[in-house]
Amino acid sequence: MSEKGERIICRCNEVTVEEIEALIEQGVTDIEMIKRLLRIGMGPCQGRTCLPMVISIIARKTGKSPDEIKLPATRIPIRPVPAGVLVGDMNEE
Amino acid sequence: MKSKAEVVVIGGGSTGTSIAYHLAKLGVDVVLLEKGYLGNGSTFRCATGIRQQFTDEANIKLMRYSVEKWKKLSEELEYDVNFKQTGYLFLATTEEEVEAFKQNIKLHNKFGVPTRLITPEEAKEIVPLLNADEFLAGQWNPTDGKANPFKTVFAFARKAKELGAEIYEYTEVTDIIVENNEIKGVKTNMGTIKADIVVNAANAWAPIINEMAGLDREFIPIKPYKHQLVKTEPLKEGQIEPLVCPPAWNDSYVIQDGEDGGVICGTGLEHGPTYDVTPTYDFLREVLKWATRIIPALKYVHVLRQWAGHYAKTPDSNPAIGKVNSIDGFYIAAGFSGHGFMMAPGVGEAMAELIVKGKTHVPLDWEWYDPHRFERGELRSTAFQIG
């Protein structure tokens, strides 16, 4: 949790509005690069919480329409799964 | 868009951005063209590893130099690329492998790479969660490492721009203008740029660019193979810091991401040649079978993400780096076969110097990486692909 009352946008990787805005102000306006430099959308929730908000921030700061900003790829598995379950030997001990 | 430049670099991955940065540093007016966003080809899909443990002189020397550059890269680019020397640990399952390790170590040591043979107990000290009982010995080099591919490409591009380079993303090259075997410029979907020098750094897509320049697509027979990775939720730092790989287990490996501590797992299963990068279920089962055998505790760790990228493979798994003799002003650095990211600092500097000065102080063996070797039916000893 943030100690300075900053507004957290990505709860998985604790990224704040301020960090996203600062990056956009430095000229990084592509969601693909913002994602990778700040690791938004790359945590356990895969961006369910943060990506719509990040799109709004980019749209607001760049004057683009939110529809113009494409969502980054969603990666499988959609929900976190223990590796043992995927291998099929979770019950062997 | 600019209508003229001294050099046009095609491909905005780690190799292309490094070449553009080093050219700009030498005062060259350079334009870089990328058909998607920077890094979207192979760099942003790589496993982050950087190693000097090859089995031939050329790759060892180039990577030893590249690691020296990696050590200073954050400072040089004034941006933290998160390079860490956390090592590479190869593990042997048979006596033959142990013998091969001893030969490799001799060669590494000859060129100043401090690799050494270690016992399974020592391996367990380095990677506490390792299933050490299955292995006879380790080939360990603590000076190999990892870095952040996203930050590296961003840092090269940022510094290149600061030095005057122009970088155009979402700009696709549609043709190369060649007259009387001389480069004259590049056509893109955004306009035409006149230039006397073009560098093909398109890696998996390099044969398509070669064809645009009038060469045969098979001149440098680079083929795109789909390679996949999975990544787990973060683990506490230090659990699996080096890249750990028993080559006999289908070239499988695990490495803790230096950025967030998640474990990246890879294996030798490949699909292709294909430009498709859709993740597949057979990979997920194969990679986790081996990863949980290397580190049994991974069974209890959640898998978060699976993705795919390319190994842009040449027939000997060594890249094609150098000048194309039949077309004046045409250069290539492509076909990195999974080693582009780790080699990028050294290759970028060498290419920039070759273009500007006609030679380089980087210990890059131009003969070894000669783009014309395939035409002559000549191959190098195959470079081992991992990490």
Out of A36, A75, A83, whose CB is closest to B232? A83
pLDDT value at B200 more than 80: yes
Closest approach of chain B CAs to the CA of A41, in angstroms? 11
Q: Given this model, what pLDDT does residue A93 score?
A: 46
Please indicate whether, in this complex, the C-beta atoms of A84 and B304 are within 8 angstroms of each other: no
CA triplet B14, B194, B211: central angle to 5 degrees?
Answer: 60
> Per-residue confidence of chain A (93 residues) as pLDDT tens digits?
445 668 999 999 999 999 999 999 999 999 999 999 999 999 999 899 999 999 999 999 999 999 999 999 889 898 999 999 999 877 644
Q: Which amino acid is at B61?
A: K
Please indicate whether, in this complex, the C-beta atoms of B151 and A37 are within 8 angstroms of each other: yes
Q: How far is CA B367 from the centre of its chain?
A: 20
Parallel, antiparallel, or unpaired: how do β-strands B191-194 and B197-200 relate? Answer: unpaired
Q: Given this model, what pLDDT does residue B259 score?
A: 93
In whole angstroms, give the CA distance from residue B327 to residue B220. 14
- Identify residues of A whose CB sits under 8 angstroms from chain B CBs: 13, 28, 30, 32-33, 36-37, 39, 42-44, 46, 73, 75-77, 80-84, 86-90
For residues B217-224, average pLDDT: 98
Please indicate whether, in this complex, the C-beta atoms of A86 and B232 are within 8 angstroms of each other: no
For residues B237-255, average pLDDT: 97
Report ipTM (2 d.p.).
0.92
Whether the model clears a pTM of 0.95, i.e. scores above it, the answer is yes
Name every chain A residue with its beta carbon within 8 A of the beta carbon of B39. 36
β-partners of residue B89 are: B140, B244
Residue % of chain B over a pLDDT of 70: 100
Q: Given this model, what pLDDT does residue B100 score?
A: 97
pLDDT value at B386 more than 90: no
Task: Identify whether the C-beta of residue B255 lies closer than 8 Å to the C-beta of residue B146.
Answer: yes
In whole angstroms, give the CA distance from residue B79 to residue B317. 31
* Per-residue tokens: B273: 């040649």
β-partners of residue B306 are: A76, B230
Q: Given this model, what pLDDT does residue B308 score?
A: 97
pLDDT value at B307 more than 70: yes
